[in-house]
Structure 1
Amino acid sequence: MAEKDRSALPPQWILLTILAGLGMVGPFSIDTMFPAFAQMAIDLDTTPVALQQLISVYLLSFAVASLFHGPLSDAVGRKPVILGGTAMFVLASLACAVAPNLSLLLVGRAVQGLSAGAGQIISRTMVRDVFADARAQQVMSQIAMIFGLAPALAPIVGGWILVHGSWREIFWALTGLGLALLVLVWLLLPETHPPEHRVPLHLGPLFASLWAVWCNPHGRRLALTAMVNFAGMFLYISSAPYIVVSMLHMGEQDFWVLFVPLISGMVIGSWFSGRLAGRVKGARLATVGYWISLGGGAANLSLMLVPAAQALPWAVMLLPVYTFGVAMAFPILTLAMLDLFPANRGAAASVQSFVSLVANALIAGVLAPLVAVSLPALAATALLLTVVGYLQWRRHLQVTGLQPPSPPGMVPPPADGL
């Protein structure tokens, strides 16, 4: 959307609220269920390990659909894809609320995943349609702040719903959330991708745009970097039932003790990233974010190796430091990916989301059950993921001619290009 057309936009606080709300649907649909796992296991006659597949199925279908949301929005416009996806999410949530058994609930969750990504992926693309440079980073950071509240609020809301009803009411609440967003998008969200900028809607070019993004070495590297950047944090999120119930010996209304520290660091880190936009170059800011994550992750591992510290408040005390660094880097990694493909931003957003979602599905279904046996094992795995992400980021800066700055205490290179 050109500068002169910005008058068509609603007030910025409304725009940010709608875009962030669309982004919140994905994590909210995961985390509200965690407090209900014990009740669902009894009601559906299954095990918590089997219920973990409700997350994996959701994320895998989310990942597959994410390959199409972005390119479709490049061809037919952003708003129609969001409206269609949100309507499907409403119907899927309704199906989950009345599912009589685990098999049909898994089908409903798969359809939820197919639809929930439309708003989350395309909302990022819309930011880049409307805003540029430092302003885009500021807006993306503001949306990330609101978006970051979802994982913290979701288990609290889920626990509160369980006090007054059963796990089915959680899906009725998701149905209501989807309906509210559908109305807001229909009435207030403008189209930001005008017809003259659209690409033909043909399967061949659609898959070609996705393949071109993946075959671009910089695009592929950034997609993998963004994936690993969030993986350590998602390991803690997907391990929440093990951590809160099995390790900390708390109840279904107590998931806030993990999610509030996790998300508070993310919200503050997003705010900090937005405040520094235009003052500190993005590549440098993301690198500093990785340093903070590495430092926080290493300190957390050291603390968890002390048996006496494997209880509250020590078990969660350093998690905000870790997630602060993750959130500082997130807007820069997202915008860097979109800026590589200005004519196919939807495809770029889809590839980046697909890679992250497949990884998150594997984390929830495979890695979390394997390593969520102790707090030291979780801390070590999260730190290892962050190390991999940092090395990927440094490699990207080097091959693109942006030499990363040296960590504190080291002699900087002659020219860092930042």
Structure 2
Amino acid sequence: MKPSSHPTHSNLLVYVLASLAALAPFAIDTYLPAFHVMGAQLGASDVQIQQSLTFYLLPYALMTLWHGAISDSIGRITTIKWGLGVFVLASIGCAFAPNVETLWFFRALQGISGGAGNVVARAMVRDLFEGAQAQRVMATVQMLFGIAPAIAPIIGGVLLGIYWQAIFIFLAFYSAFSLWAAIRYLPETVPVKKRMPLSAKQVIKDYKVIFGDKEFNYVVLALSANFAGFFLYVLASPVFLVKQLGFTQHQFGYMFIPTVCGMILGSFLAKRAAGRYARQKVVKVAYLWMAAMVILNVLICYTLPTRPLYNILPIALFNIGMALAMPILSLVALDRHPKIRGTAASGQAFIQMLLSTVSAGLIVPLVWYAPSGLALTMAGYLIFGWLMMRKSKFYNHQ
């Protein structure tokens, strides 16, 4: 089912899809300014509050393996209804958590349900749009999606002035509004006759096909590593911004606004490049740009004093290249398996969130000792992503 040719209707679809995709960064970033206050009120250490990210991200990553398959079986809209409905209840549970263990439980429940919107939105972009238009729409969704990490910590800082619990009440209202908009404005793109049977055996069989596809793996690992290079700064922000750069809990926007502006600019350039330049050429330019910014970041960390302008600017500039390549790589991966596109979207989201989970639980606490540790880790992620990209047939296609 293709959308109406009327531009207002098409734009509305894009905004609703973007609101679904943005739920994940809102769930991660909005409460970052509250880490220290939450730790004090819940009697928990910085590491214990940091682990609430892991308790969200790990179930999120694991459940993304099922959201797409479920949507291929029961339909996209029904999957959104169940996922966001549970997320609303889990957000309320987080708001009233009396201790860190209860917070962990409801964050895990948020993670289990929160990926439904993101996975289904990716699949629906490809359900509804084709060719260069699909690339432009994916770039637009990503551009709007990119605004969320910029405004989420600012919203969190404002709500922190009321109570930290107000942050999770906001998440409940946001997810409820996105759910209403999806039901009201999005068409069902998987008619009953095209639905796939849902069984563990079938899902495992589909994932064997998807993860047995080397080309899919190379492209998705490259995309995920590029994103992880930036996302590790999001995960480390309570220490990076407050303890290393000297910001308060209400000043997180000083990092998130410029870094997300970089992401938005990269998405805008990807949208402009769609249909004008070969996709391989755009991706290669994006990697050259990211490499230059990674080198600049490392040099700054080892040669200049730690200051907000020096240490944030390379991250913002890196995001231009990351966002330029992302919609192209995402569509290349989805187009590998058009008959089980929802499952492919799940596999893509799973790998991306798995790298983010590893960052949150293992890598970030080891490298947030100084800006140089984060800069070297960003460089490591980019090198890994580039090596994966070089192995792909897409990158080497002439």
Name the aligned partner's letter for residue 260 of structure 1: I
1:390-411 CA-partner distances (Å, limit 9, x unpaired): 12111103xx5x52xxxxxxxx
Aligned partner of 1:413 in structure 2 is none
1:231 to 228, 248, 258: 228
Equivalent pair of 2:48/2:100 in contact (CA under 8 Å): no
Equivalent pair of 1:9/1:15 in contact (CA under 8 Å): no
Aligned partner of 1:15 in structure 2 is 13
Q: What runs of 5+ residues in structure 2 fail to find an aligned partner? A: none
Q: What SS does structure 2 have at the residue aligned with 1:263?
A: helix
Aligned partner of 2:169 in structure 1 is 172
Aligned partner of 2:371 in structure 1 is 375
Equivalent pair of 1:134/1:278 in contact (CA under 8 Å): yes
Tell me the distance in 2 between the aligned counterparts of 1:262 and 1:384. Answer: 19
Tell me the distance in 1 between the aligned counterparts of 2:240 and 2:199. Answer: 47
- Residue 90 (structure 2) pairs with residue 77 (structure 1): no
Q: 179-188 or 140-149, which moves further after superposition?
A: 179-188
- Residue 273 (structure 2) pairs with residue 294 (structure 1): no
Residues 305 and 348 (structure 1), Cα distance of their counterparts in 2 relative to 1, 3 Å cut: same
Aligned partner of 1:330 in structure 2 is 326
2:355 to 349, 353, 359: 359
Equivalent pair of 1:86/1:118 in contact (CA under 8 Å): yes
Aligned partner of 1:160 in structure 2 is 158
**What are the residue-to-residue correspondences of 1:172-251 with 2, within 5 Å?**
172-251=169-248
Q: What SS does structure 1 have at the residue aligned with 2:358?
A: helix
Aligned partner of 1:390 in structure 2 is 386
Tell me the distance in 2 between the aligned counterparts of 1:8 and 1:306. Answer: 54
Tell me the distance in 1 between the aligned counterparts of 2:8 and 2:212. Answer: 37
Q: What SS does structure 2 have at the residue aligned with 1:305?
A: helix
1:302-359 CA-partner distances (Å, limit 9, x unpaired): 1121242x10211112222111000011001110111000101111111111111111
1:194-243 CA-partner distances (Å, limit 9, x unpaired): 22322122221122112210111112222212221211101111010111
- Residue 344 (structure 2) pairs with residue 316 (structure 1): no
1:66 to 43, 64, 67: 64
Q: What SS does structure 2 have at the residue aligned with 1:166?
A: coil
Aligned partner of 1:339 in structure 2 is 335
Once the 2 structures are TM-superposed, how far is the Cα of residue 143 of structure 1 from its aligned partner? 0.4
Once the 2 structures are TM-superposed, how far is the Cα of residue 10 of structure 1 from its aligned partner? 7.3
Tell me the distance in 2 between the aligned counterparts of 1:201 and 1:147. Answer: 30
Name the aligned partner's letter for residue 323 of structure 2: A
Equivalent pair of 2:20/2:117 in contact (CA under 8 Å): yes
Tell me the distance in 1 between the aligned counterparts of 2:147 and 2:181. Answer: 20
Equivalent pair of 1:239/1:372 in contact (CA under 8 Å): yes
Once the 2 structures are TM-superposed, how far is the Cα of residue 72 of structure 1 from its aligned partner? 0.9
2:250 to 232, 239, 253: 253
* Runs of 4+ with deviation above 6 angstroms: 7-10
Once the 2 structures are TM-superposed, how far is the Cα of residue 9 of structure 1 from its aligned partner? 10
Tell me the distance in 1 between the aligned counterparts of 2:14 and 2:76. Answer: 16
The percentage of aligned residue pairs carrying the same residue is 35
Equivalent pair of 2:65/2:350 in contact (CA under 8 Å): yes
Aligned partner of 1:131 in structure 2 is 129
Aligned partner of 2:147 in structure 1 is 149
Tell me the distance in 1 between the aligned counterparts of 2:247 and 2:222. Answer: 35
Using the size of structure 1 for normalisation, the TM-score is 0.92
Q: 57-66 or 377-386, which moves further after superposition?
A: 377-386
Name the aligned partner's letter for residue 158 of structure 1: G
Q: 206-215 or 22-31, which moves further after superposition?
A: 206-215
Using the size of structure 2 for normalisation, the TM-score is 0.97
- Residue 280 (structure 2) pairs with residue 283 (structure 1): yes
Q: What runs of 5+ residues in structure 1 fail to find an aligned partner? A: 404-415
Aligned partner of 2:51 in structure 1 is 53
Aligned partner of 1:34 in structure 2 is 32
Name the aligned partner's letter for residue 56 of structure 1: T
Equivalent pair of 1:233/1:323 in contact (CA under 8 Å): yes
Name the aligned partner's letter for residue 289 of structure 2: I
Name the aligned partner's letter for residue 343 of structure 1: K
Name the aligned partner's letter for residue 134 of structure 2: A
Equivalent pair of 1:9/1:190 in contact (CA under 8 Å): no
1:258-308 CA-partner distances (Å, limit 9, x unpaired): 111211111100010011100012222112111111111111111121242
1:89 to 62, 75, 87: 87
Q: CA RMSD in A?
A: 1.5
